[in-house]
Amino acid sequence: MTTLTAPPAPAETRPAGTGRRRRRWSGANIWLTVLLILASVFTVLPFLAVFVLALSPEGAQTIPDQLPDEVTFENLSGVLSASSFLRWTLNSFVYSIVSVVVILLTAAMAGYAFARKRFPGSNALMWSFLATLMVPIQATLIPMFVLVSKMEGVNTFWGLIVPTLANSQAVFLMRQFIKGLPDDLFDAAKIDGAGEWTVFWRLVLPLTKPVLATLGIFVFLWHWNDFLWPLVIAQTDDMRTLTVGLSTLNAETVARARIMASAAISVIPCLVIFGVLQRYLVNSIATTGLKG
Amino acid sequence: MTLERTAVPRPTWRQRVRDPGWGLLFVLPMLVLFVIFRFVPSLGAIGMSFTDYRLSGEFSFVGAENYSRLISDDLFFDSLRVTLLYAVIYVPLTLVVSLGTATLLHHVVRGRGLFRGLLFLPYVTSFVMAGIIWIWIYQSDGLINGALDGLGLGPVPFLTGNQAMVLGSLAVVSVWKSFGYSMLILLAGLKNIPEDVMEAATLDGAGAWAKFRRITLPLLRPVIFFVLVIETIAAFQVFDTIYVMTGGGPARASYGLVYMLYDQGFRFFDFGYAATIGVMLFVVVFVISLVQRYVLDRENT
């Protein structure tokens, strides 16, 4: 697991017999559990509702009055055979996956340079990268759009992707992690006569795998769920991402079962990531402080 | 990998800096991206705010005209008020929910991992998806009003009622979607509170509420501060849910700052004016983080 900011040792590691609280059921614990069940129902119920509505026949009696009498996959298959929906899904995958690959590579390179190399202005440059965290993306939306449209980037993949790749959180995270690696490794590589690229490919990238994985998950989720930039840059239907496409379905009067089926399908990749990597994702937030 | 630890003298500083070129070379791809898509647009926003830039690309410098127009524009102050009201509802609500669930998770004996996962689940979805579900939940024949109807109550006009109702309903959607993140940050903070302190308080006869008020909250203050800052900034950037759920309505009741920026830019194509709103957004967010820092620093001393 990635421990970048070296959190203090958890209480569990203290020697036994120092009076830690007993792990057994008590009245208070039953109340805690009941409250947690209620809170979990609040977070999970909307998801269940989407899937129930997506599986309910069009126009049939369904929740909240009753569960649907029969289950149909017509809405889901109808959505999946609509060509524009498939195109939006493809666009979302391209947007997310290309961003993950390029950000991981360029952020690892920059993080390595900031952590291990000294060059004129390296500190000032790191600070100017971090300073961009203070500028909300919405504040520069208009000049970014004008710039990209001047470069003929509206309704293109590069116009969608490239402007979102300048990611200071990614650079800072990689720098912190690489700074924490033992100096000896790099000294040994130098003595073995490894060139700069060899050190980066054969030493830095393999050693940063855990943090690259964490960062990769986050970048994927950020881009898959991103809305404002795709909304302004993808103006034709065939360039829309899933989030933008869903919002247009919602604005047009598409049948509710159809909209819910689209929403259900669009959230599946995130749910898969969550299901497979839940523990990993949850633990890394506390240690890395990554935020969408 | 054949790299083993060997006892070699550490390279001197001179050896380390011998090759400044490589460092720059490794930073170069990211640097190019930052210069073109972060630094230039940041300066560009300020530059454009002094022009009447239009969709066609034609513009002339108009001095501070956009700014004087802004401070006499009721729409701008209304949108500022909408955003402030939204933040006033959203930030305390999300803090209470995330602190409450984090405290429950911290103390629960069984099933912590399961509950943590279920509570965090909505964080992986998009605000667009959240908005689409919650439109249905809020509808007159939706989940909540359906349940109220069974009790002979309602329907409650969640998204069509008065301003406080609409902004509150939008805030609940954002809390649902994103409180999991703050919950995890606060949970990590709770884990770092030394247990001996708690035990000493218990031996002294302190009750659960007294321990929470006198020990947990003061020791958690830096973490709470962090959560307050990121959530306030998030509140001022609210856009996706407004776009999907209300379109700024009804009657501009949810016409927030970023929504106004989008509206002026991409519906009226008044880019110069929209860029000015962007500059104001930056100033407002910046001032708020300064004020929060100042207030919390003063309380600490």
CATH code where residue B267 lies: 1.10.3720.10
Report the distance separating Cα A53 and Cα A51, nearest Å: 5
| Sign of torsion over alpha carbons A179, A183, A185, A186 | positive
Output the six-digit token pair for B181: 């993140």
CATH number for A83-288 (one of 1.10.1200.10, 1.10.10.10, 3.40.50.720, 1.10.3720.10): it is 1.10.3720.10
Sorted by sequence, the CB contacts under 8 Å of residue B70 that are 6+ apart come out as B76, B273, B276, B277, B280
Q: Which of residues 91-110 of B touch A (CB under 8 A)?
A: 100-101, 104-105, 107-110
Distance of CA A179 to the CA centre of its chain: 24
pLDDT band at A278 (very low <50, low <70, confident <90, very high): confident
Q: Point out the residues of chain B with pLDDT beneath 50.
A: 1-8, 11
- Say how many Å lie between the first and final Cα of chain A, rounded: 20
Please name the member of B4, B16, B188 whose beta carbon is closest to the beta carbon of A7.
Answer: B188
B135 at A interface, C-beta within 8 A: yes
For B161, what's the count of Cα atoms within 13 Å in the CB-facing half-sphere?
Answer: 15
Residues B109, A25: contact at Cβ < 8 Å?
A: yes
Asked whether the beta carbons of residue B136 and residue A49 sit closer than 8 angstroms, the reply is: yes
Helix (H, G, I), strand (E, B) or coil at B206: coil
Residue B209 covered by a domain: yes
Asked whether the beta carbons of residue B244 and residue A250 sit closer than 8 angstroms, the reply is: yes
Residue B56 covered by a domain: no
Please name the member of B37, B194, B208 whose beta carbon is closest to the beta carbon of A163.
Answer: B37
| Sign of torsion over alpha carbons A197, A202, A204, A209 | positive
ipTM of the modeled complex? 0.86
Output the six-digit token pair for A208: 């940063």
Report the distance separating Cα A119 and Cα A103, nearest Å: 22
pLDDT tens string A41-54: 999 999 988 888 88
pLDDT at A161: 95
pLDDT at A19: 44
Q: Which residue has the higher pLDDT, A82 or A88?
A: A88
pLDDT at A18: 41
Residue B98 lies in domain: 68-300
Give the number of beta-carbon pairs within 8 Å between A and B.
Answer: 315
**Cβ-based burial of B245 (10 A; exposed 0-12, middle 13-18, buried ≥19):** buried
What angle, rounded to 10 degrees, do the helices at A242-251 and A83-116 form? 140
Report the domain count for chain B. 1
What's the gap in Å between the CA of B118 and the closest CA on chain A?
A: 6
B155 at A interface, C-beta within 8 A: no
Please name the member of B3, B17, B285 whose beta carbon is closest to the beta carbon of A136.
Answer: B285
pLDDT tens string A2-24: 333 433 334 444 444 444 455 55
Residue B256 covered by a domain: yes
Where in chain A is CATH 1.10.3720.10? 83-288
Residue B180 covered by a domain: yes
pLDDT band at A154 (very low <50, low <70, confident <90, very high): very high
pLDDT tens string A204-239: 999 998 889 889 988 999 999 999 999 999 999 999
Residues B98, B186: contact at Cβ < 8 Å?
A: yes
Residue B51 covered by a domain: no
pLDDT tens string B210-236: 888 888 888 898 889 889 888 998 999
Max mean pLDDT among A9-13, A74-78, A155-159 falls in: A155-159
* pLDDT higher than threshold 60 for residue A287: yes
Beta strands in chain B (DSSP E): none
